[in-house]
């Protein structure tokens, strides 16, 4: 839980001088993190770039350390995302999560290192605050497992795919 506190603190510090700007107040660059994923021991940071009024891309690191009955994940992950705004606040989103995961099997008491790929499709809505410097972005969706190169025993019995993803981001624009 400690990483989410540091990330939230950094976001708040970055937003301290909330100055009004001339013209368009929405910056092209932002950084955000999930408020919901740390509850299941997935930590992530998004670096977002707004290409134009309707298109945004994101990239960032994530670390997955979730636990199931027969295994624990240790995944170093890259986030690759695309967000298409259909209105000023409503968006459709797609994300890919390629990862190197050293799954620890509680059955074999050994590591099962391998590559994996996860994808998510979401519908999001952006709520802006402080002259568009801060934002909340609830984006529920569905997650799909695409590839798991070296699964431990019982992996596919315990991983649900597709699965509901209750994503809720908080961020700051620069």
pLDDT digits (tens, 9 = 90+) for 31-62: 999 999 999 999 999 999 999 999 999 999 99
Categorize the per-residue pLDDT at 27 as very low, low, confident or very high, splitting at 50, 70 and 90: confident
Interval 105-158: pLDDT, tens: 999 999 999 999 999 999 999 999 998 899 999 999 999 999 999 999 999 999
Distance CA 70, CA 108 (A): 9
Quick check: 160 pLDDT over 50?
A: yes
Specify whether the CB–CB gap between 16 and 160 falls below 8 A: no
Beta bridge partners of 139: 167
């Amino acid at each position: 839980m400690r990483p989410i506190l540091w990330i939230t603190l950094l976001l708040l510090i970055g937003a301290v001088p909330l100055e009004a700007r001339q013209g368009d107040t929405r910056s092209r660059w932002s950084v955000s993190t999930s408020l919901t994923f740390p509850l299941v021991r997935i930590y992530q940071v998004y670096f977002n770039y707004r290409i134009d009024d309707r298109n945004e891309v994101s990239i960032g690191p994530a670390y997955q350390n979730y636990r199931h009955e027969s295994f624990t994940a240790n995944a170093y992950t890259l986030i690759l995302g695309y967000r298409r705004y259909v209105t000023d606040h409503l968006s459709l989103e797609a994300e890919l999560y390629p990862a190197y995961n050293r799954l620890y099997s509680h059955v074999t008491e050994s590591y099962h290192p391998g590559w994996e790929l996860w994808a998510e499709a979401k519908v999001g809505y952006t709520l802006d605050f402080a002259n568009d410097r801060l934002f909340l972005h609830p984006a529920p969706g569905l997650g799909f497992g695409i590839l798991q190169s070296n699964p431990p025993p019982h992996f596919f019995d315990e991983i649900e795919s597709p699965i509901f993803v209750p994503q809720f981001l908080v961020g700051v624009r620069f």
